A = this chain, B = another copy of it.
Amino acid sequence: MPYVNIKITNEGATAEQKQELIAGVTNLLKDVLGKNPATTVVVIDEVSTDNWGIAGENVTSRRKKGL
């Protein structure tokens, strides 16, 4: 019954990679806590680099600096 929300910047993750995240997190919750995969929900949000900040600076600016 767990619910997992993964937020990443929108920088080209493929459907296959996102499927790997969904399967990986679902398995982790089964292995560590015995949670039933049938009712484990995973939602991935892909966020514009203009809308994600760390260290007080958006990721668009950080990428231009090579960070």
Contacts and interface: CB of A to CB of B under 8 A. Distances in A.
Given A7-B4, A24-B32, A25-B28, A19 B55 contact: no
A26 B5 CA distance: 13
B51 A3 contact: no
A57 B2 contact: no
A33 B21 CA distance: 9
Interface size class of A (residues with CB under 8 A): 35 or more
A4 to B, nearest CB: 5
A2 B24 CA distance: 15
A1 B42 CA distance: 11
Interface of A: 1-9, 13, 15, 17-29, 32-33, 35, 37-47, 50-61
